[in-house]
Structure 1
Amino acid sequence: MLRIIAGIFLFLFPSPWASAEPLDRAGIAALIQPPYALGDPVNDKGVWTLLNSGGAPAGFAFETQELAPLPGFSGAPINLFVMLDGEGRFLKVSLISQNEPIFVSGLGEAPFRRFLEQYAGLSINQPMTIGSPYGKAGAGSELTYLDGVTKATASVRIAHDSLMAATLQVAREKMQGISVGPPAWPDPDHAEALDWQALVDQGLAGHLRITNAQADAAFQGTTWADDDPEAKADAAGNYLDLWLVDLGPPSIARAVLDADGLAALARLHHLSPDEEPLLVIDTARHGLVSPEFVRNTAPDRLSAEQDGLPVALKDADLTFGTLPGVPQGVAMILRVDRRLGFDPTRDWRLKVQAVRLHGVFQAAPGSVDFPLTHHTDARFYKRAEATTPISPWREALRNRAGDMVALAVYLVVLMAALLGAVRWTASHPAFPWARRGAQALTLGFVGWWGQGQLSIVTPLAVLRTAMDGGSYAYLLYDPFSLLIWAAAIAGFVLVGRGFFCGWLCPFGALQEFAHALGRSLHLPRWEPSAIWDHRLKWVKYIALAGLVATVLISPDDIDTAVEVEPFKTAITTFFVRDWYYVAYAGLWLALGLFTYKGFCRYMCPLGALMAIGGLLRMRQWIPRRMECGSPCQLCRVRCPYGAISAKGKIEYSECFQCLDCVTIHDDAKTCVPLVLAAKGRKLAGTAR
């Protein structure tokens, strides 16, 4: 239905929107976080080189809009600014522009900006998902859960998907060598009897031996060629005798470490389960680190790389012992974060720096690197299947599974009672109380808890998307509301607008409770005359036409224009907004104390759209008699919506399916024709 309406407008009016241009150099430079600086543009899609304080390439800066323009609930994409370092870590994620209704004037942008601050320091290799009140991480989950924004989970999920899609596109195209697949994890269930000799024989213990002569040769022809007299005195002696073992697999660790060492390693695994421990031992005179080295920091004489990109090494600061047979010397356990893309099952290089000093005063240092290529056999590891992002529908549906089941049950019960057995429902003695209970469920569960208040914003976004030729995927991010839309559209065909407006609209239910409060307080009731009632009912169509015109002529103003609906204030944010929005919503509720559902009847643009959709109604489901309207006027007088004409005809475009007239029609003690017939004064005519 929404797409049909959008298609009509698309046919009549050309699209006034064009994609926003990427920020220019000055605009991007203003967003760069020191000590980084902006380099040269990489392409025409808003991707720039990021420079470090020394002027060397350090990553990329880019906008997401050009790379992954996923439409939000306004129909326009959320545009984010991203700073990404050379290892695929987020340095900064900030907001450039957005038109999400909930953030424009509902919650404000502050919670959205706080949400984006969570990405700093995270790696693109980490599986991430958005947490919400409807779903939490289970025990042992490898996912990184980001705190969502209450009442705006769908919008931040769209932002997250756009961010990751754009970032991975940059990584794959511009950051060659970064692994964006699932990491390898030591398999705790793999048991294998090994000792040190087996590790050596199978290549699981890497070995690098550099003699003093080889070290001298590496410095030959440089200023530092003669600055190591010990090397010249013992040319055949070892300068470096390095052993390297990956202690991540339990079978390997048990072949190297003693009981105390295994206990220390277990504590490291418990505190840092994402880090791979690497044992390095030097039995010669190099010593692995300099005398100035500080424990629990990056080793100053050791570095690593894989696929041409640096691998960050840190000292694990562990005290440990090794088993007999393991070479003795200077030993330390280093740690590498697997989430940053390090894969121990593929070749990587450990580089050992040899340093010499030349001169007596202010000696000048010189260095060469000796590399050792190593990997650990894949049989010791397990690897999750490549994570394929599930569809927005499935992700949102999984997070709200319980709510969706409850809503489905509620809708089935309502449909059975109001669409399939309407006369039985209306005549049941408990119907008045059942109606109040349903209104309470709609307000509390559908509205305040489930955030299922339908709004004119969605049809307008569909219209805008149709005119832009974009995707409607954003509708899937809120399956709870989408299910209500489906029920409302089904109601169009069966009964008209009344199924939604009378039973599923939370603000409508709130107005009914306001009016009930007014009656209990014995406040005067004010209703416009029949003439003014008829005239005022056209206002909602004027409001709808005005909103459509705003979309067509001045789309930037639509977020302000849709505030004609008080739904966001009263239902979405529970009155936590600026005072003037609260005052506006309160005005309609205060009017409801005296006038029955004034907003719904006279001002609601969504109600106008629902009335138009109700033209699809295929039957006249409200029973009538020949006497209805002439001479009996009881149903018309008691109809709180003024949906029955003086001639007894039902105006279904204004009918909210309260069932009062159906109750009267089937009540032998209330319906005038039935009362008269019971008294033996049968009127002319037959029932129709």
Structure 2
Amino acid sequence: MAALLRILLLLLVATAARGEVLGREGLAGFVRPPMSVGEPLGDDGVWELLNSGGALAGYVFQTEPLAPIPGFSGAPIDLFVALDLEGRFIDVKLIAHNEPIFVSGLGEAPLRAFLDQYRGLSIAEPMVVGTPYGDAGTGSALTYLDGVTKATASVRIAHESILAAAREVARERMQGIASAPPAAPDLAHREALDWDALVAQGIASRKRVTNAEVEAGFAGTRWADDDPEAKADPEGAYLDLWIVDLGPPSIRDAVLGEATLARLARLLELSPTEEPILVIDAGRHGLVSPDFVRNTAPDRLSATQDGLPLALRDADLLVELKPGVPEGTAMILRTDRRLGFDPSRPWVMEVEAVREHGMFQPEVGRVTLEAPHATPERFFLREEPAAPPSPLREAVRARAGDLWVLGGLVVGLAVLMGPLMHRVARRGWLLPVRLGVLAVVLGFVGWWGQGQLSIVTVLGAVRTAWEGGSWAFLLYDPFGLAVWVAALVGLVVWGRALFCGWLCPFGAMQEFAHHAGRMLRLPEWEPSALWDRRLKWVKYVLLAGLVAVVFVAPDHVDKAAEVEPFKTAITTVFVREWVFVAYAVGLLLLGMVTFKGFCRYACPLGAVMAIGGLVRGRDWIARRAECGSPCQLCRVRCRYGAIEPSGKIDYSECFGCLDCVQILDDPRQCVPKVLAAKAALRMPQKEAA
């Protein structure tokens, strides 16, 4: 083991290859004629895009130099982007990536199809990866991009890379606005304000639009006669919108009731970079559509600053206003200052007036009503540069239910392998409990939750550590991250047993294959003790080889990692090319005659867990003085070969099946207990004689 660790340390100091930055010729291969690549614009990888006459038509760039957001392999998803002079996407193409799900799982076709959706869209349009609720997308100001099933996290990484790089180019090249730290509310600034003062000083801005003005917006279109109420009351208020930035304490104190102030304070305590914005509509518009779902992006409200979109989201707060504040439909929206919003500078709220024409599959028409707003600079301080927003919060929110169930499962396993271990390990109890847990792990953690841990994550972490990159790629999959946390904590308490024995979906599948083999009465093939010891080193050799590939040929890591069948059996549920399916099925067939052969001998992730298990703080399975001498029952029955002839347990090979605990506690199986019971019966007979 020590020799293996030395080998791995030597591999860690090998030379690693980084992603290639394309020059003019490399970028030209992605540009469609008659356009061509012009001159570079600075040293950030942005180039001129020229039309057929040689005039400037836009900009082309790679996303990796501008937004190196790591993917699951540890390397960014590198994309080619072409923008026209108005900030509209001309093209988005894939340059390079190592995302495991696309390399050989789903193939690159779904990713390329996802990227095709950007063509023709504008950087000024608020874009969301996902599906609108019900018909909410019909009259929405949001643009929804269809994601890729089983690859949501990777697609979001690509989406954030595209938008982050494109916004940087748009701000610097198109708007002439250099990126600067946004302002934040000055929490120490206090003024005595009421509603009249807010209105008088322009702190509360108003936008009133009559029915007649909206009618004029739809005049000459097919929707011109689709609002009888507007025609009946032309001077009535279609929109009577008030906008107030609630970030500064003095302003929100002048507007909100006590209960809402307390709820907003709790929200800002958890999310201090959020800027809350109050909107009140006393007109007919109502702010959102009937299909709107709380705590999501408002479907008929959007905002821009400097021509670029701001990300708005409902704060999901019940709004109680102070007396004197106008009545109407009230919402508190929030946007994150880290995403480019500067509350001390003017911005524009855009309200969609929506009409439908026709009864069946009606056609939707929209008119945008703009409401500019600015809050005086005296309420703000300029912040220091802030770190990019973490993707963890939204990802956790999206999978909150799954994470709660996973947490309950892990806690249950900790109790099962801790305080209840000896009760569960009783004859007649252990097998049904174990198979029940493994069924949940395979179905919920594996197929449903996509929580199968993989050596790919370990290799990505190794590459990130070597190159000094970001670990943010781990945060795009909070479910998988939670399984990793449970596995790492388990290493300290039980060694590899918690994950390898109970939490690994493919390990569960291997065990079910073994029981299927017994039901079919297939012959069993188990290597001799000598070959068992030899074969257990195969997984360490495979691990060392994979780590070497990270540094010698990093572009081939994904292919080398196919030694794991996890992507085939768990991630894609056998929907792959036949060669991968044949390999995974072959390993399961092997498991029917050789107990968990892949897990014991060939799993590189198991090798990582075995090495990590060296941090285990205790020997958690009890032993007796007679274990090993003279009793060998536990060693003979251990299917993992994890008990030495001396009776000592080799925890680097122990999967925590609890079979030896069952033997140890059973007076009918444990040889020392059986002998002690017989001796106790003979003692009265000797005394009587």
Q: Is the TM value for this pair above 0.5?
A: yes
Alpha-carbon distance, 1:41 to partner? 2.2
Per-residue CA deviation, residues 53-96 of structure 1 (Å, 9 max, x unaligned), is 55432221111111111221222221111111222111211101
Aligned residues of 1:125 and 1:179 also touching (Cα < 8 A): no
Partner of 1:317: none
Cα separation, 2, equivalents of 1:77 and 1:139: 33
Relative to structure 1, the CA distance from residue 515 to residue 429 in structure 2 (aligned partners, 3 Å threshold; closer, same or farther) is: closer
Relative to structure 1, the CA distance from residue 418 to residue 127 in structure 2 (aligned partners, 3 Å threshold; closer, same or farther) is: farther
Relative to structure 1, the CA distance from residue 61 to residue 8 in structure 2 (aligned partners, 3 Å threshold; closer, same or farther) is: same
Alpha-carbon distance, 1:403 to partner? 1.3
Aligned residues of 2:510 and 2:596 also touching (Cα < 8 A): yes
Alpha-carbon distance, 1:630 to partner? 1.9
Partner of 1:224: none
Partner of 2:266: none
Aligned residues of 1:39 and 1:50 also touching (Cα < 8 A): yes
Aligned residues of 2:303 and 2:347 also touching (Cα < 8 A): no
Cα separation, 2, equivalents of 1:401 and 1:34: 48
Aligned partner of 1:254 among 203, 212, 220: 212
Partner of 2:600: 601
Per-residue CA deviation, residues 211-239 of structure 1 (Å, 9 max, x unaligned), is xxxxxxxxxxxxxxxxxxxxxxxxxxxxx
Alpha-carbon distance, 1:585 to partner? 1.2
Partner of 1:282: none
Relative to structure 1, the CA distance from residue 161 to residue 29 in structure 2 (aligned partners, 3 Å threshold; closer, same or farther) is: same
Alpha-carbon distance, 1:583 to partner? 1.4
Relative to structure 1, the CA distance from residue 342 to residue 452 in structure 2 (aligned partners, 3 Å threshold; closer, same or farther) is: closer
Relative to structure 1, the CA distance from residue 176 to residue 598 in structure 2 (aligned partners, 3 Å threshold; closer, same or farther) is: same
SS at structure 1 position matched to 2:115: helix
Partner of 1:100: 99
User: Does 2:409 align with 1:410?
Assistant: yes
Partner of 1:525: 524
Cα separation, 2, equivalents of 1:434 and 1:266: 68
Alpha-carbon distance, 1:465 to partner? 0.9
Partner of 1:512: 511
User: Does 2:492 align with 1:493?
Assistant: yes
Alpha-carbon distance, 1:413 to partner? 1.0
Alpha-carbon distance, 1:263 to partner? 10
AA at the equivalent of 2:24: R
AA at the equivalent of 1:531: L
Relative to structure 1, the CA distance from residue 137 to residue 92 in structure 2 (aligned partners, 3 Å threshold; closer, same or farther) is: farther
SS at structure 1 position matched to 2:417: helix
AA at the equivalent of 1:563: E
AA at the equivalent of 1:595: T
Alpha-carbon distance, 1:258 to partner? 8.8
Alpha-carbon distance, 1:559 to partner? 2.0
Partner of 1:590: 589
Relative to structure 1, the CA distance from residue 263 to residue 378 in structure 2 (aligned partners, 3 Å threshold; closer, same or farther) is: farther
Alpha-carbon distance, 1:509 to partner? 0.6
TM-score, normalised with respect to structure 1: 0.68
SS at structure 2 position matched to 1:680: helix
> How many pairs align?
515
Cα separation, 2, equivalents of 1:500 and 1:136: 37
Alignment of 1:96-175 (within 5 A): 96-131=95-130, 139=136, 143-175=142-174
AA at the equivalent of 1:16: A
SS at structure 2 position matched to 1:419: coil
AA at the equivalent of 1:60: Y
AA at the equivalent of 2:47: W
Alpha-carbon distance, 1:32 to partner? 1.6
Per-residue CA deviation, residues 438-482 of structure 1 (Å, 9 max, x unaligned), is 111111111111111111111111111111111111111111111
Partner of 2:280: none
Per-residue CA deviation, residues 141-176 of structure 1 (Å, 9 max, x unaligned), is 754332221222221111111111111110111001
Relative to structure 1, the CA distance from residue 59 to residue 452 in structure 2 (aligned partners, 3 Å threshold; closer, same or farther) is: same
Alpha-carbon distance, 1:594 to partner? 0.3
Alignment of 1:353-392 (within 5 A): 378=372, 390-392=389-391
Aligned residues of 2:124 and 2:308 also touching (Cα < 8 A): no
SS at structure 2 position matched to 1:125: coil
**Which stretch of structure 1 is more off in the superposition, 252-261 or 599-608?**
252-261
Partner of 1:38: 37
Alpha-carbon distance, 1:12 to partner? 5.7
Cα separation, 2, equivalents of 1:266 and 1:379: 32
Cα separation, 2, equivalents of 1:542 and 1:507: 21
Partner of 1:574: 573
SS at structure 1 position matched to 2:57: strand
Partner of 2:13: 13
AA at the equivalent of 2:454: S
Relative to structure 1, the CA distance from residue 683 to residue 87 in structure 2 (aligned partners, 3 Å threshold; closer, same or farther) is: farther
Relative to structure 1, the CA distance from residue 427 to residue 27 in structure 2 (aligned partners, 3 Å threshold; closer, same or farther) is: same
Relative to structure 1, the CA distance from residue 667 to residue 62 in structure 2 (aligned partners, 3 Å threshold; closer, same or farther) is: same
Alpha-carbon distance, 1:130 to partner? 2.3
Relative to structure 1, the CA distance from residue 73 to residue 627 in structure 2 (aligned partners, 3 Å threshold; closer, same or farther) is: same
AA at the equivalent of 2:679: G
Alpha-carbon distance, 1:26 to partner? 2.7
Larger-Rg structure:
1
Aligned residues of 2:17 and 2:552 also touching (Cα < 8 A): no
Alpha-carbon distance, 1:131 to partner? 2.2
Alpha-carbon distance, 1:268 to partner? 9.4
Cα separation, 2, equivalents of 1:25 and 1:596: 56
AA at the equivalent of 2:122: S
Relative to structure 1, the CA distance from residue 180 to residue 7 in structure 2 (aligned partners, 3 Å threshold; closer, same or farther) is: farther
Alpha-carbon distance, 1:641 to partner? 0.6
Alpha-carbon distance, 1:677 to partner? 2.5
Cα separation, 1, equivalents of 2:373 and 2:67: 38
SS at structure 1 position matched to 2:679: coil
Aligned residues of 1:645 and 1:651 also touching (Cα < 8 A): yes
Relative to structure 1, the CA distance from residue 249 to residue 54 in structure 2 (aligned partners, 3 Å threshold; closer, same or farther) is: farther
Cα separation, 2, equivalents of 1:667 and 1:7: 44
Relative to structure 1, the CA distance from residue 27 to residue 20 in structure 2 (aligned partners, 3 Å threshold; closer, same or farther) is: closer
**Which stretch of structure 1 is more off in the superposition, 553-562 or 114-123?**
553-562
Alpha-carbon distance, 1:532 to partner? 0.9
Alignment of 1:202-601 (within 5 A): 251-254=209-212, 257=215, 264=223, 267=226, 341=307, 378=372, 390-427=389-426, 429-601=428-600
Cα separation, 1, equivalents of 2:418 and 2:162: 44
Cα separation, 2, equivalents of 1:435 and 1:158: 37
**Which stretch of structure 1 is more off in the superposition, 425-434 or 482-491?**
425-434
Per-residue CA deviation, residues 370-390 of structure 1 (Å, 9 max, x unaligned), is xxxxx9774899xxxxxx985
Partner of 1:626: 625
Cα separation, 1, equivalents of 2:487 and 2:454: 12
Relative to structure 1, the CA distance from residue 142 to residue 660 in structure 2 (aligned partners, 3 Å threshold; closer, same or farther) is: farther
AA at the equivalent of 1:169: E
**Which stretch of structure 1 is more off in the superposition, 669-678 or 154-163?**
669-678
SS at structure 1 position matched to 2:64: coil
Partner of 1:84: 83
Partner of 2:648: 649
Partner of 2:265: none
SS at structure 2 position matched to 1:609: helix
Relative to structure 1, the CA distance from residue 50 to residue 338 in structure 2 (aligned partners, 3 Å threshold; closer, same or farther) is: farther
Unaligned runs of 5+ in 2: 183-205, 229-237, 239-301, 310-345, 349-368, 376-386, 684-689
Relative to structure 1, the CA distance from residue 458 to residue 675 in structure 2 (aligned partners, 3 Å threshold; closer, same or farther) is: same
AA at the equivalent of 1:627: E
Partner of 1:204: none
Alpha-carbon distance, 1:117 to partner? 0.8
Cα separation, 2, equivalents of 1:529 and 1:399: 49
TM-score, normalised with respect to structure 2: 0.68
Cα separation, 2, equivalents of 1:568 and 1:407: 20
